[in-house]
Amino acid sequence: MEQACARAGIHSAEELRALGADETYFRLLRTGSKPHFIGYYVIEMGLQGRPWNDCKGKEKDALRARFDAIVARAAESGEGAIERILNEIGTGLRR
């Protein structure tokens, strides 16, 4: 997780707290992390100071809906890891 956050430009717990779970996870996806609900869930629970598996029922369903929206937003942004690399070497989408 530390390496994934560093790739996303997040280098401290303070930065992660300031961004919150949704923006942090969006940045992770944009820099090549694969979507995984548990990863998102763990960030959210950690920021709340709760055990990673503490969330149940409607609260967990709401987190799943937020996760799905973040994954969709990242996919719509068109800037996944391969796209970023292609853009860096000059062979990505022409804008």
Looking up tokens 């717990």, which residue turns up?
A: 13
| 10, part of any domain | yes
| 32, part of any domain | yes
Q: Tell me the whole-structure pTM to 2 decimals.
A: 0.79
Q: CA distances (Å), 58 to each of 25, 65, 68, 75, in order? A: 21, 10, 15, 26
Residue 36 has a pLDDT of: 94
Per-residue pLDDT of the chain (95 residues; tens, 9 = 90+): 899 999 999 999 999 999 999 999 999 999 989 999 999 999 999 999 999 999 999 999 999 999 999 999 988 876 556 666 776 677 765 54
| 17, part of any domain | yes
**Domains held by the chain: number:** 1
| 94, part of any domain | no
| 41, part of any domain | yes
| Domain CATH for 73 | 1.10.150.20
For 74, the domain range is 2-88
